[in-house]
Amino acid sequence: MLKVESAVVRYGQITALHGVSFEVGQGEIVTLLGANGAGKTTTLRMLSGLHTPASGVISFEGRDITKIPAHQFANMGISHVPEGRRIFSVMSVEENLDMGAFGRKDKYDDDMERVYTMFPILKERRKQMGGNLSGGEQQMLAIGRALMSRPRLLLLDEPSMGLAPMIIDQIFRIIGEIRDSGTTVLVVEQNAAQALRLADRGYVMENGRIAFTDQASALLDDPRVRAVYLGEGID
């Protein structure tokens, strides 16, 4: 579904991605792991057209999207939940969801209902300002907003960041449901153990490169992953 070949992304003089290659298949949950600064966010931003690769090729559903600018990404089938969530804090929950449907000419009431079914707390709070929600609720809203464009590929940047374990469990369960309902998922996570339990496959990034890749279950047992990303005491 998605294929990235030898992508190079630079910030001025700094090269953030040194020829990154990976694939995501239809219906998969794929996780990108890596230390701070490894290039995970840059990779997702590149897939939303926010960074154009200096070289390399990105194809999505067989189409070359390497040079498509961000504003043309709406309605392409890729939706991005950025790091730090970035919901609109002075808009209500409902207005945030409306923004997620921006550009759609059809009716999207069903999609909003689907988001509310997925996250009942958002329905209760639908008139509240985004900025007054808890961190977990904001993450739910950010995911809900991204689903309003009916993406076929959902990009999630650290959805568990700063959230309590119980909320993280809930978010991860819902990511599984999103996939089960037919949306392919690429998720960046610091929480490697939980991400690998959910994902089908994983890629480990180091210094702007893919260091290694495997089935998620194999990565959970991989000594390189255990040493660096899982620490001690993992079951």
Ligand X SMILES: Nc1ncnc2c1ncn2[C@@H]1O[C@H](COP(=O)(O)OP(=O)(O)OP(=O)(O)O)[C@@H](O)[C@H]1O
- Specify the residue, 49 or 125, whose C-beta has the smaller distance to ligand X: 49
Is residue 53 helix, strand or coil? Answer: coil
* Element spanning 172, H or E: helix 165-180
Q: Is residue 11 within the footprint of ligand X (CB under 6 A)?
A: yes
Q: Is residue 41 within the footprint of Mg ion (CB under 5 A)?
A: yes
- Specify the residue, 28 or 157, whose C-beta has the smaller distance to Mg ion: 157
Residues from 82 through 101 that contact ligand X (CB under 6 A): 83
Question: CB under 5 A: which stretch of 70-78, 79-87, 142-150, 166-174 binds Mg ion?
Answer: 79-87
Q: Are 8 and 56 in contact (CB under 8 A)?
A: yes
Provide, rounded to whole angstroms, the least separation between the CB of residue 11 and ligand X: 3
* Element spanning 138, H or E: helix 135-147
Token pair in block for residue 126: 């639908």
The whole-angstrom separation of Cα 132 and Cα 215 is 39
Beta bridge partners of 154: 79, 185
Could you tell me how many residues of this chain bind Mg ion (CB under 5 A)? Answer: 3
- Specify the residue, 39 or 151, whose C-beta has the smaller distance to ligand X: 39
Residue 42 binds which entry of Mg ion, ligand X, none, CB below 5-8 Å type-dependent: ligand X
Q: Are 188 and 15 in contact (CB under 8 A)?
A: no
Residue among 201, 185, 203 at smallest CA distance from 20: 203
Q: Are 138 and 81 in contact (CB under 8 A)?
A: no
Q: Is residue 166 within the footprint of ligand X (CB under 6 A)?
A: no
Residues from 21 through 40 that contact ligand X (CB under 6 A): 34, 36-40
Residue 37 binds which entry of Mg ion, ligand X, none, CB below 5-8 Å type-dependent: ligand X
Binding site for ligand X (CB under 6 A): 11, 14, 16, 34, 36-42, 83
